[in-house]
Amino acid sequence: MAFVYEEPVDNPFWMGDVSVPLSIVWSREGTAVGVAEMQPCPQADSTCTRYSPGEPFDLAVETTGGVFTDAGIGVGDRVAVSETHPG
């Protein structure tokens, strides 16, 4: 899932009511500013960990846990998202 922002933001992501781990990469102007492995949080409350790169970003992409880390993606890498259509 991709979250695209018209202006840079620095809002955290959290895993309330999510049952599987997810990888996330944040980028600004096409360059990764952070990567994290987010762990499930079965309850949706203030005890859930908040994940943030600690600086503004204009794109965040989530995928299956471990994908970005296993691929060696890190801060400074180029990030691009392209639109695909089924069929």
Question: E-strand spans in the chain?
Answer: 2-9, 13-14, 22-28, 31-38, 50-51, 57-64
CA-based radius of gyration for the chain: 13
| 8 A C-beta contact, residue 51 and residue 39 | no
Name the residue with tokens 């069929």: 87
Express each pLDDT in 24-79 by its tens digit: 999 999 999 999 999 999 888 889 999 999 999 999 999 999 999 999 999 999 99
Angle 75-82-32 from CA coordinates, rounded to 5°: 10
